[in-house]
Amino acid sequence: MAGSVEAARTRVPVPAPPPPRGPHGDTVARALLALIAAGAAAVLRLWWTDTASVVGGAQWVTDGGRLFGLLAGYTAPVLVLLMARIPVLDRTLGSDRLARWHATGGRYLVGLVLTHVLLIVWGYSLTDRTGLVQQTDQLVFHYPDLLKGTVGTLLLFAVGAVSARAARRRLRYETWYHLHLLTYLAIFLTFFHQLSNGAEFVHDATARGFWYGLYLGAAAVILWFRFAVPARDAYRHRLRVAEVRPEAPGVVSVFVTGDYLDELAARTRPGQFFRWRFLSRGLAWSANPYSLSAPPGGGYLRITVKEQGGHSGALARLRPGTRVLAEGPYGAFTADRRRSPKVLLLAAGVGITPLRALFETVPAQPGGLTLVYRASRAEELLFGPELEAVAEARGARLHFLLGSRTGTGDPLQARALLRLLPDLREHDVYLCGPDGMVRAAREELDTAGVPARRIHHESFEL
């Protein structure tokens, strides 16, 4: 393996041919949203068909609770499917867009469930002429499967609380990730009371079959893409650490080797990421996302990580031979997004990692590819010789922008970028860097007149 790792220093890059383009992300997004809306319409029809004439306030409240409950029951498996890492969705929509939809849907789900619970308790108490506390006790402890449903509902509310932005910022990624897995248990526990208490399902075998198909289908997809496929790949490729190489203060590259890596490389596109699980003390329970910092090939995969916490800091202490589980590849931050012959790659700090791979491979004619790399100090630049070799081999332009913003002004301002690239509006722009840099750069690119559809960025945040 030493020879192939060493080749990373000297390999002469060759521009890759344009990859075949699949369906555009916006087309897939519209189709997926239409499918979700059609499912919601089917749920509304199910409620409408089973609802006779509504008489009296108690029935209005109760039937409203039924409707919110059905919509909540439908939303739960849809949210699971959004995060099932289905390859065609992940490659076209991107993990970040799916995660945003999942997060937004999660807030709707909590609201739907809360409204369902309040309306059902209120409606039943009006019908039975009992107090809210007495009615709650009656429902929870005397209706079939509602005790399990109550536990599942409380778990769902707890997951929603720790996923709120304010709470999320206070938790380590690994802590939040494992708490979020309780969502699966919550959905499992709340499923049964829907069938045993829902008027739509008690006497309608077709409705029950539809509901079982929805939930069992979502479970099958999750088990296949989140567990079976990664287990198959782990057995097939038997990944292990080959070398850990310091790149800059607090930054290391981890080279991973394994069996049949040509197969893995063939289905991996530069710019994508894997979720890496290193079977070492303190790391085995965490699967963190890191982009490849070089095109896959030559018998290795390379990631480059900056120390920003316990997990990333521990990677510097990995020993050669450590077993690795890698789930992926994921993400749509690839050359497939490119729609213009000209491409600008805009990086800051360790955000250079996916752009380093794209710089070598994104299709572009000589003079049509530019990399702008922002760093405060020269020692913070990564892959300097590699980037220069790529630029020379491809006839690309390479600009290192050094210095603090307070001392030199922000070189990523619209007017500065237009001086650098007068035809900036004709470029597709790929952005990667700290969140603040990405937000500011998007605003400056908008000011410079770059259409939003040509600005590409993907975040790992879930």
Per-residue pLDDT of 196-248, as tens digits, reads 888 788 888 888 999 999 999 999 999 999 999 999 999 999 999 999 999 98
Confidence of residue 436 (pLDDT cuts 50, 70, 90): confident
Q: What pLDDT, on a 0 to 100 scale, did the predictor assign at position 404?
A: 66
Which CATH number applies to 238-330: 3.90.650.10, 2.170.140.10, 3.40.50.2000, 2.40.30.10? 2.40.30.10
Indicate whether 7 pLDDT > 50. no
Q: What pLDDT, on a 0 to 100 scale, did the predictor assign at position 377?
A: 82
Most confidently predicted of 46-55, 159-168, 371-380:
371-380
Class of domain 338-456: alpha beta
The alpha carbon of residue 236 and the mean position of all alpha carbons in its chain are separated, in whole angstroms, by 25
Confidence of residue 10 (pLDDT cuts 50, 70, 90): very low
Indicate whether 267 pLDDT > 80. yes
* pLDDT tens-digit series, residues 35-57: 999 999 999 998 888 877 666 88
Who wins on pLDDT, 177 or 317?
A: 317
Average pLDDT over residues 260-283: 91
Indicate whether 174 pLDDT > 80. no
Average pLDDT over residues 293-316: 85
Q: What pLDDT, on a 0 to 100 scale, did the predictor assign at position 26?
A: 79
Indicate whether 406 pLDDT > 70. no
Average pLDDT over residues 143-171: 85
Indicate whether 407 pLDDT > 60. no
Confidence of residue 252 (pLDDT cuts 50, 70, 90): very high
Q: What pLDDT, on a 0 to 100 scale, did the predictor assign at position 50?
A: 80
Average pLDDT over residues 314-336: 92
* pLDDT tens-digit series, residues 57-85: 888 899 899 999 999 999 999 999 999 99
Q: What pLDDT, on a 0 to 100 scale, did the predictor assign at position 413?
A: 85
Indicate whether 313 pLDDT > 80. no
Confidence of residue 405 (pLDDT cuts 50, 70, 90): low
Indicate whether 304 pLDDT > 50. yes
Average pLDDT over residues 279-296: 88
Tokens of 421: 């690239």
Q: What pLDDT, on a 0 to 100 scale, did the predictor assign at position 14?
A: 44
Q: What pLDDT, on a 0 to 100 scale, did the predictor assign at position 311?
A: 67
Average pLDDT, the chain: 87
Who wins on pLDDT, 109 or 312?
A: 109
